[in-house]
A and B are shown apart, each in its own frame.
Chain A
Amino acid sequence: MPTPDDERFEAYLKQFRPLVPEPLPTSGSGHRAWRRLVLWAGAAAAVAILVGTVALHIHTERVRVVDTTRYLAAPDQLMEGQPLTVRSVNALMAKAPSFKALVDDMAFRSQTIPLPKGKRSAVAVLGKEKIKL
């Protein structure tokens, strides 16, 4: 049986309050929500950077192609009616933005070599003939 002395002593002891513990390290749903938000923001930023890089790369490629086609018009005029020489090729290479552009130019350039009077090209003769197969 507890005596009055015991009860008074208990009451005295209860006046001493245990210390409050430190907050939990990851306490609060707000903290977790914030962490989740930061993760999402990081992922979104990574995706944005990736998309930007790809778009920039595509744009650069397009500019390169445009430059090539722009360049292709000029040599046609320069080399019309002239035979292809080492010098002219060197000159073209010096001006061409890339080797590919130069080759493209050579491949798709219209060949308008003038023929002597009264002579026709084989293609023209064959084109007028009616060939029955």
Chain B
Amino acid sequence: MSRTDGSTAEIESLYRQHGPALLLFALAITRERARAQDVVHQVFLNLIEKAGLSRAVDKKAYLFGCVRNAALNEGKLRGRTTPFDRDLVSAWFSPPDRDYMGEQNLRRALDALPDDQREVIVLHIWGELTFSQIGELLSISSNTAASRYRYALGKLRDSMFAKENSCANS
């Protein structure tokens, strides 16, 4: 191993700090809890072994990029052997005030979004990346990232409130 203890400590600190958002981002791509967890672990273990963070300027955006690449690669590899399987049972969030119904609504609304919009929503709201960072990460302009976000937010709101209204009416 060519890593130093200092870099390992930094990577572990980044894991604690951004792990939840990275896991959610991996979930948004893989839509399966176990796979998302594996992807995040794989990224951080690679970084620890290769001390790969030393060259990254924007470490947070770099981590999201690593997770995205790993998740997409894993999806490609798995797609060849097993059919895509959505896991809509496991929770993605810790809901406020034990609002488990709200959590389920949010999860289903996110799942219903197109892949590119779901990524932008997760990166901006829970990853707290700017549109410029998102644009660089997804190889699109920051304006495109912002417009995708607005579309996605509108769809998400409609989807969640429509669900809540339908639940309230029934």
Contact = CB atoms under 8 A, between A and B. Distances in A.
A29 B96 contact: no
A82 interface: no
Contact of A19 (B48, B91, B106): B91
B62 interface: no
B22 A27 contact: no
Interface stretch (B39-47, B53-61, B137-145): B39-47
A9, A20, A21, A22 — which one has the most chain B CB atoms within 10 A of its CB?
A: A21
Interface stretch (B7-15, B74-82, B111-119): B7-15
A86 interface: no
Report, as a range, how many residues of chain B touch the other chain.
20 to 34
Interface string B32-52: 000001001100110010000
A3 B91 CA distance: 29
Contact of B93 (A17, A24, A28): A17
The 5 closest A-B pairs by CB, nearest first: A18-B24, A18-B20, A16-B93, A15-B96, A21-B23
Interface of B: 5, 8-9, 12, 15, 19-24, 37, 40-41, 44-45, 48, 91-96, 102-103, 106, 125-126, 150, 153, 156-157
Interface of A: 2, 5-6, 9-10, 13-22, 24-29
